[in-house]
Structure 1
Amino acid sequence: MEFKEIGVIAPILSAIQDLKYTNPTEIQKQTIPAILNGRDLIGCAQTGTGKTGAFAIPLLQRMASKPNAKRVPRTLILVPTRELAIQIDQNMAALGMYLKLSQLVIYGGVSQNKQVDALRKGVDTIVATPGRLMDLLGQGHVNLNSIEALVLDEADNMLDMGFIHDIKRILKVVPKNRQTLLFSATMPTAIRKLAGEIMKSPVEISVSPVSSTAEIISQSVYFIEKKQKTALLAKVLNEDSNVQTLVFMRTKHGADRLSKTLGKQGVQSVCIHGNKSQNARQNALNSFKDGKINVLIATDIAARGIDIKELPRVINFDLPEDSETYVHRIGRTGRAGNAGKALSFCSEEEKPLLNKIQKLIGFQVPVVI
């Protein structure tokens, strides 16, 4: 099946071709026609399944079909983190490169002046984190009275990060007669409850259950004492110094400490977490994406929205407390048909966490002897 078979218009098809996308992913096949038909939708899909294109393509297409004479925002996309907001904004711009549409990304940690200026000039789409959007709403800089489509992306993470109250306030100022699209990697009770409150007879589409890990990802685990993890990581990184590697840590301070220690051992790395400024996080991410630095150390929240098409390796320096997080972490590699490796370091006290992960994914992760 090709994109044109599911109703995608010529200008977006040209952009898709320029971006070297091939055929639609499973979620795009199911989601694009439903959104074009105006249905509310719940999409259960994890990172790497093409869900941004699944909502961006039909929303761009529908906006392109009727001019925006008033230059007011028509589509609002809410996301949990700045990195994800930037990524979606870039994807929307790329997919809409042949359309006369504009979008604005709104997030905190930077001056609001440019964001306010863009709003005054008029935009079709706003991609925003809830906190900064609430600030601008409170100051009277944003008018959401003409929103036709509301997207809640990574809804489970937005709830985990405490954004539910901001989301409910935003829902009060967008039109009731709108299309609502909710995407989430998991479907806990809180998400079900929220969907029931804000959606009208939604279509439900589920792709790639959270318990599955891509077959093209080679997974392995090292059993090692906690205090020996840093030396092992340095050894692994030095053996394959040209391999781009995303290293996951549980804490911000641990990430900083590890980056400094690796530097003393001749391994250059950059680090992103919630305590870093937006500019520092973006510069670190750009250095990694551009291949100037081959090691990126990140906490889970900061890593949301990192989209590197050919990332060859992920290392879990700390095993995550939540088993589903393991699936999301290693899903950063093995994307778009590329093979990937996922290594995990497991100390004695982390063995119960490994057991829970193995129960979720349905097999024993091979041990490196």
Structure 2
Amino acid sequence: MTSITTPANFTELGLIPPLLARLTELEYLQPTPIQAQAIPSILAGGDLIAGANTGSGKTAAFALPILQHLHTQKPLSSKSSKGNYVTGLILVPTRELAKQVADSIKSYAVHFNGEVKTTAVFGGVSANTQMLALRGGTDILVATPGRLLDLISSNAIKLDRVKTLVLDEADRMLSLGFTEELSALLALLPKKKQILLFSATFPEEVQALTQELLNDPVEIQLQSADASTLVQRVFTVNKGQKTALLASLIKQHQWRQALIFVNAKNSCNHLAEKLSKRGISAQVFHGDKGQAARTRVLDAFKAGEIEVLIATDIAARGLDIEKLPVVINFDLPRSPADYMHRIGRSGRAGEVGLALSLIDVDDYHHFKVIEKKNKIWLEREQVAGFEVAEVISGASSAADKPMAKPEGSAKKKHKNKVQINAHIWRRNS
């Protein structure tokens, strides 16, 4: 684990004047720990695995050095070169994150006077518009894997000049759901390239795969529950009373905004209807909504025009919602890692935040699994008027804390799955 003193300012990180001027305008006064450690490593040109809490400034940590490399080496990658090239490729798991990351990069590059071109491509919108945007190539491409493969098949972009590959939300990008797409993309990339992995969580199976993918990477792990400004609480509730408890909490606390997570698209609409009957207006955000509608809802929520947003896990990854006071798990996420990503929408950039999980008797065992995987232990609390049976009201005990994993057939099977995935990556990299 890398450990250094956080510099007092960005100048000490070796950033060039155009970037420093923009950071001053954005009131970025001091590098965050992940920025302080990642930026020099990326500027040095090596591979990197970087884990840090959500809201810790990971986008700037990889965007700033990539922009500096492009600006200083621009004569070598002039737009007079033939072909639809891309130099820096950033892969992300969701459409919304692709747009957000690209917008951030464009903002950081304001003082480059248009010398660095950044483009975002993702599904749900016209591919023709994106093909037009890619004419002549682009310096930085932020993309979801599926749409990028579509554009490559249409000869809209080539990856043979990529110098830097970033996997943002790397644990999700390296999961089985993206394996085939990423393998296909890796086969199109040059063998020699810098690879940067950023995420708030790196499960064991992902850690094994990264060692196969990267070349002698610098590893930075800064995840820490103690350093977080996010308060986590767990409220037990009688089965069938979650909606009533949720409505009571919203009315009692009068939060400026609340982001509520459920597990299914149908559940978003169903819960919104139930809250409406209790006098609470809520909007929904899920994959069945068209991209234009998703963008409108998310922009309105970020602007504070929507007070209550009910969403599936497409809102759990990387989205930056400024000063969001509370995140509520109405349904527990299926994956323990997704729990950390969900609650990380609040308590970002040093702001105080609150994460509430509402659990009934059917959720109790799964929440213990979430605690063990994430090395957290939270007291079970009750809300006046919604008291429940003693069987689920107690706090986690010492007996619930993680123990060493026994050797067994399940673990061997899991290891084999990792080796298969690693073989695919190794073959194409």
Question: After TM superposition, is the score higher than 0.5?
Answer: yes
* Structure 2 residue aligned with 1:132: 147
SS in 2 for 1:120: coil
* Structure 2 residue aligned with 1:258: 271
* Structure 2 residue aligned with 1:165: 180
* 1:83 and 2:83 matched: no
Please state how far the C-alpha of 1:22 moved relative to its aligned partner.
2.1
* 1:70 and 2:85 matched: no
Please state how far the C-alpha of 1:86 moved relative to its aligned partner.
1.0
* Structure 2 residue aligned with 1:144: 159
SS in 1 for 2:138: coil
* Structure 2 residue aligned with 1:223: 236
Q: Deviations over 1:40-60 (max 9, x none)?
A: 111123421211111001000
* Structure 1 residue aligned with 2:126: 111
* 1:310 and 2:323 matched: yes
* 1:277 and 2:290 matched: yes
Q: Which moved more, 1:33-42 or 1:312-321?
A: 312-321
Please state how far the C-alpha of 1:3 moved relative to its aligned partner.
0.8
* Structure 1 residue aligned with 2:48: 41
Q: Which moved more, 1:352-361 or 1:274-283?
A: 352-361
Please state how far the C-alpha of 1:263 moved relative to its aligned partner.
2.3
* Structure 1 residue aligned with 2:420: none
1:219–1:366: 8 Å Cα contact kept in structure 2? no
Q: Deviations over 1:56-113 (max 9, x none)?
A: 0100011010223136311000111111111111110111111121110000011012
**Aligned partners of 2:138 and 2:379: how far apart in 1?**
48
SS in 2 for 1:226: coil
SS in 2 for 1:318: coil
* Structure 1 residue aligned with 2:216: 201
Q: Which moved more, 1:229-238 or 1:195-204?
A: 195-204
Alpha-carbon spacing, 1:198–1:343, altered in 2? closer, same or farther (3 Å):
closer
Residues 321-360 of structure 1: matches in 2 within 5 Å?
Answer: 321-359=334-372, 360=374
2:276–2:282: 8 Å Cα contact kept in structure 1? yes
* Structure 2 residue aligned with 1:53: 60
**Aligned partners of 2:371 and 2:214: how far apart in 1?**
35
Alpha-carbon spacing, 1:134–1:329, altered in 2? closer, same or farther (3 Å):
same
Alpha-carbon spacing, 1:66–1:332, altered in 2? closer, same or farther (3 Å):
same
Please state how far the C-alpha of 1:29 moved relative to its aligned partner.
0.9
Q: Deviations over 1:298-325 (max 9, x none)?
A: 1123432321121111111112233333
Please state how far the C-alpha of 1:277 moved relative to its aligned partner.
1.6
Q: Which moved more, 1:304-313 or 1:315-324?
A: 315-324
* 1:291 and 2:304 matched: yes
SS in 1 for 2:70: helix
Please state how far the C-alpha of 1:276 moved relative to its aligned partner.
1.8
2:233–2:378: 8 Å Cα contact kept in structure 1? no
**Aligned partners of 1:170 and 1:213: how far apart in 2?**
38
Any unmatched runs of 5+ in structure 1?
none
Please state how far the C-alpha of 1:363 moved relative to its aligned partner.
3.0
RMSD: 1.9
Q: Which amino acid aligns with 2:362?
A: E
Alpha-carbon spacing, 1:61–1:40, altered in 2? closer, same or farther (3 Å):
same
* 1:365 and 2:365 matched: no
**Aligned partners of 1:338 and 1:184: how far apart in 2?**
20
SS in 1 for 2:134: helix
**Aligned partners of 2:262 and 2:19: how far apart in 1?**
39
**Aligned partners of 2:376 and 2:262: how far apart in 1?**
24
Alpha-carbon spacing, 1:353–1:142, altered in 2? closer, same or farther (3 Å):
same
Alpha-carbon spacing, 1:302–1:328, altered in 2? closer, same or farther (3 Å):
closer
**Aligned partners of 2:206 and 2:216: how far apart in 1?**
15
**Aligned partners of 1:218 and 1:44: how far apart in 2?**
20
Q: Which amino acid aligns with 2:379?
A: V
Please state how far the C-alpha of 1:138 moved relative to its aligned partner.
0.9
Q: Which moved more, 1:343-352 or 1:186-195?
A: 186-195
Please state how far the C-alpha of 1:189 moved relative to its aligned partner.
4.8
**Aligned partners of 1:219 and 1:334: how far apart in 2?**
10
Q: Mark the structure with the bigger radius of gyration.
A: 2
* Structure 2 residue aligned with 1:22: 29
Give structure 1 regions of 4+ aligned residues with deviation exceeding 4 angstroms.
none
**Equivalent pairs, count:** 367
Q: Which amino acid aligns with 2:58?
A: K
**Aligned partners of 2:296 and 2:176: how far apart in 1?**
24
SS in 1 for 2:310: strand
Q: Which TM-score applies when normalising by structure 2?
A: 0.81
Q: Which amino acid aligns with 1:98?
A: H
**Aligned partners of 2:269 and 2:366: how far apart in 1?**
24
Any unmatched runs of 5+ in structure 2?
1-6, 384-429
Q: Which moved more, 1:103-112 or 1:115-124?
A: 115-124
SS in 1 for 2:381: coil
